[in-house]
Amino acid sequence: MSGNVADTNSAWIADKCWMLGHEVVWHGGVGDHTDAIGDACMLAEKRAEVVFVTGGLGATLDDITVESAAKVFGKKIILHEDIWRGIQDFFKRVGRECTENNKRQAYLPEGGKPLTNTVGTAPGVQVKFGKAVFFFLPGVPKELFQIFGDSILPWLAERSGENVYEQRFLRCFGIPEASFDERLKDIELGDVRMSFRVTFPEVKIKLVARKCSCPPPHCRRAGIYGAKEPMNSGPINRATTNISNVEKQIRARIGEYIYGTDDETMAAVVGKLLLKNKKRVAIAESCTGGLIAHMLTNVPGASNWFERGVVSYSNESKMQILSVKEATIKKHGAVSEACAREMAEGVRKISGADFGLAVTGIAGPTGGTKEKPVGTVHIALASLKGIEHVHCCFPRDRESFKAIVAYEAMDIVRRTLM
């Protein structure tokens, strides 16, 4: 209510519900006031059969969600000794002091079922209030996701109705969003829904098709929430086939911009390609300041294909570690094609890696000139076959500049390995 935090939980929950064929009809937000929370819960109970309530399960005095809701439905809250012991154990395990405050989290409404929280202290609660099933969940996204995934997704899947969906994301980089409409306007969609989502600096194409209208056990076999039984044939394959048909058409038009699908990151795709080709990369970054190395090393197992990174911010470090020639910097400047080439070849040679990737540019907000405005960047990729060079200009704020340059640089490695 104060605008300090944007609510991203609602969208996350809605996405999960929708994929399992449950329609989300309403969401609302209120402050930490007993009456406001009670009113919102009463209203929700009238509107839907299932209600998710997030936030306010913490250990401090303004965490009053569960007791406020219980009160309005005329239920008591009861101390669960086993939960209280579990909370004390949790604190012992992480070596922190457990205060009397934390005991608040061990109180559940009568008839409530605790939902195990393996990430934090407050368990979720499932309880019937009036005609609706209420789920009370922590507001901390990580805890919410864990409890939702472990305890609620299976419950929702068992109750999934006629409209269960399959979706696929095609992740694109390097094509302006506005030209998407143009390039993709005559795609034959059939009953597949196509939409776009921009998460700078990439664009995701979302394809959705209805999966089946069979009774729930079938949907569960389809692997919707990760069951290990084999995929069923028939209606499911129809959805998969429909999506694949649309994907094929899209790839025929803009395939070179599609770097991955679903949850694959650009860094993970680059890592997978390096691993598959038994190659290693070393990096010399100037203007991205370590971001490329950071993104690549977010991928588990990166040490198998990421040899080293050098954040050569000063000219001395470029000369000393990467053997960039002083004359090159004097003649062309540190932001130049010549310097990028020497950085890439330098980091490749000293590291013994197969690829040397280098970026040098002007992130801004200051440091630009008429010839080299803020946003100028030179990217070079060195290998045994020679050195490739790209010159771009992304006149953006500092952090957006770093992000788009990091993607551009990784994309060059990806295209080379393809």
Q: Which of 89, 118, 161, 198 binds a copy of itself (CB under 8 A)?
A: 198
> Are the CB atoms for 271 and 279 separated by under 8 Å?
no
What is the closest distance, in whole angstroms, from the C-beta atom of residue 33 to a copy of itself in the complex? 9
Report the SS3 class of residue 183. helix
Q: Measured between alpha carbons, how far is 289 from 359 in angstroms, rounded to an integer?
A: 9
What is the closest distance, in whole angstroms, from the C-beta atom of residue 86 to a copy of itself in the complex? 15
Q: Which of 46, 74, 82, 181 binds a copy of itself (CB under 8 A)?
A: 181
Q: Measured between alpha carbons, how far is 309 from 290 in angstroms, rounded to an integer?
A: 8
Q: What residues numbered 399-418 form the site for a copy of itself, per CB under 8 A?
A: 399, 402
106 near a copy of itself (CB under 8 A): no
Q: What residues numbered 5-64 form the site for a copy of itself, per CB under 8 A?
A: 5-8, 10-18, 23-31, 36, 40, 59-62
Report the SS3 class of residue 132. strand
Q: Which of 81, 97, 186, 371 binds a copy of itself (CB under 8 A)?
A: 97
> Are the CB atoms for 172 and 254 separated by under 8 Å?
yes
Q: Which of 244, 297, 323, 416 binds a copy of itself (CB under 8 A)?
A: 297
What is the closest distance, in whole angstroms, from the C-beta atom of residue 199 to a copy of itself in the complex? 9
Q: Measured between alpha carbons, how far is 179 from 170 in angstroms, rounded to an integer?
A: 16
314 near a copy of itself (CB under 8 A): yes
Please say which residue, 215 or 395, places its beta carbon nearer to a copy of itself: 395
Residue the block writes with tokens 């998407």: 180
296-310 burial by CB neighbour count: b if 16+ within 10 A, else e?
A: beebeebeebbbbbb
CB count within 10 Å of CB 41 equals 25
Q: What distance lies between CA 132 and its chain's CA centroid?
A: 31
Q: Measured between alpha carbons, how far is 335 from 285 in angstroms, rounded to an integer?
A: 12
Q: What are phi and psi of 171, to 5 degrees?
A: -95, 125
182 near a copy of itself (CB under 8 A): yes
Range in contact with a copy of itself (rule: CB under 8 A) among 97-105, 224-232, 241-249, 255-263? 97-105
At 324, the amino acid letter reads: V
Q: Which of 76, 113, 191, 196 binds a copy of itself (CB under 8 A)?
A: 196
Range in contact with a copy of itself (rule: CB under 8 A) among 213-221, 234-242, 255-263, 298-306? 298-306
Provide the mask over 351-390, with x wherever binding to a copy of itself is found by CB under 8 A and - wherever it is not.
xx----------xxxx------------------------
Q: Measured between alpha carbons, how far is 185 from 223 in angstroms, rounded to an integer?
A: 32
Please say which residue, 75 or 285, places its beta carbon nearer to a copy of itself: 285
Q: What is the dihedral of CA 364, 369, 372, 374, to 10 degrees?
A: 20
CA distances 409 to 23, 69, 203, Å, are: 41, 52, 17
Q: What residues numbered 217-236 form the site for a copy of itself, per CB under 8 A?
A: none
Provide the mask over 254-293, with x wherever binding to a copy of itself is found by CB under 8 A and - wherever it is not.
-----------------------------x-x--xxxxxx
What is the closest distance, in whole angstroms, from the C-beta atom of residue 383 to a copy of itself in the complex? 18
327 near a copy of itself (CB under 8 A): no
> At a CB cut-off of 8 Å and minimum separation 6, what does 107 contact?
66, 67, 77, 78, 79, 80
Q: Which of 74, 178, 327, 385 binds a copy of itself (CB under 8 A)?
A: 178
Range in contact with a copy of itself (rule: CB under 8 A) among 69-77, 177-185, 216-224, 249-257? 177-185
Classify the C-alpha dihedral 117-123-127-132 as positive or negative. Answer: negative
Range in contact with a copy of itself (rule: CB under 8 A) among 106-114, 195-203, 238-246, 252-260? 195-203
Q: What DSSP designation does 129 have?
A: E
Please say which residue, 132 or 140, places its beta carbon nearer to a copy of itself: 140
